[in-house]
Structure 1
Amino acid sequence: MTTHKVNIAEKLAAFTEQWAPHRIARVNDYEVKAAKLQGEFVWHSHEDTDELFLVVAGTLTIRLRDGDVVLGPGEMYVVPRGTEHCPAADEEAHILLFEPSGTTNTGTAGGTRTREPVDA
């Protein structure tokens, strides 16, 4: 990836597939990924890293075993490493994820929803 200005809205407009992370930037050993989400993901955790969710549009619920966190546009939440969580959105939400390079989107759960990020 080259160093240049990134328009988040343009990056999100460039794809329609949901639950498929698109890498839009790198920061040291971290990746910034854009994604569109609707419905419920899988319960999973990331044993070695925190995961930051930033909502760009829509509403995202981060389901946790001890209570939900509901996020709207401009709000973010960091899921601590090892914390089981399940992202969900009743209507399509657009988000950014910040996590170390190589982090699997389904964490410890694996399965058919596992996707490698693609460059956007």
Structure 2
Amino acid sequence: MSNEPITLAQALTTFDALWSPRVVTRVNDYDVRIAKVEGEHVWHVHDDTDEFFLVLSGELHIALREPDGERTVRLGQGAVFTVPRGTEHRPSSAAGASILMFEPTGTPSVGDRHDAIPAHVDATTGHLLGE
């Protein structure tokens, strides 16, 4: 981890991989991760933690399976949303987006329970920036 300021726009230029989050810093026991996304992720659940999303650019859709049915949350640039723990969800972006996520260190990007992982999705706990 760097002890120098990090410009998110610059950090996003250091990698091209989609659905492959980079850890830009840590706050206590939480990772601050950035990712480039396009297309669909996988339906997944984080059993023990919420998942925070901030859209840095583009538009992100998050499909949610809730007790009373399925719905989709649409997030534009600058919008934030927290998926509650235990909620099955699938992020997607038709035209591509850059996002920031905040979650406990070691949290798998495909959750604790998930559908089959497609080849374009990196099952990781986050790569250090520069990897």
TM-score (norm. length: structure 1): 0.95
- The amino acid that maps onto 2:12 is L
CA distance in structure 1 between the partners assigned to 2:104 and 2:3 by the alignment: 19
Asked if the contact 2:42/2:116 (under 8 Å) is kept, the reply is no
Greater strand fraction, Structure 1 or Structure 2: 2
In the TM superposition, residue 110 of structure 1 has moved relative to its aligned partner by 6.8
Percent of matched pairs sharing the same residue: 44
Q: Give structure 1 regions of 4+ aligned residues with deviation exceeding 3 angstroms.
A: 110-113
- The amino acid that maps onto 1:67 is R
In the TM superposition, residue 111 of structure 1 has moved relative to its aligned partner by 4.8
1:70 aligns with 2:67: no
- What is the root-mean-square deviation of aligned Cα atoms in Å? 1.2
How many correspondences in the alignment?
A: 120
Q: 2:28: which partner in 1?
A: 28
1:117 aligns with 2:126: yes
CA distance in structure 1 between the partners assigned to 2:11 and 2:110 by the alignment: 22
Counterpart of 2:15 in 1: which secondary structure? Answer: coil
Counterpart of 2:10 in 1: which secondary structure? Answer: helix
Equivalent residue runs for 1:1-120 within 5 Å: 1-65=1-65, 66-107=70-111, 108-109=113-114, 111-112=116-117, 113=121, 114-120=123-129
1:56-109 deviation per Cα after TM superposition (whole angstroms, max 9, x unaligned) = 000000001231100011101000000000000001100001000000000011
Shift in alpha-carbon separation, 1:110–1:33, aligned structure 2, 3 A: farther
- The amino acid that maps onto 1:116 is T
TM-score (norm. length: structure 2): 0.87
Unaligned runs of 5+ in 1: none
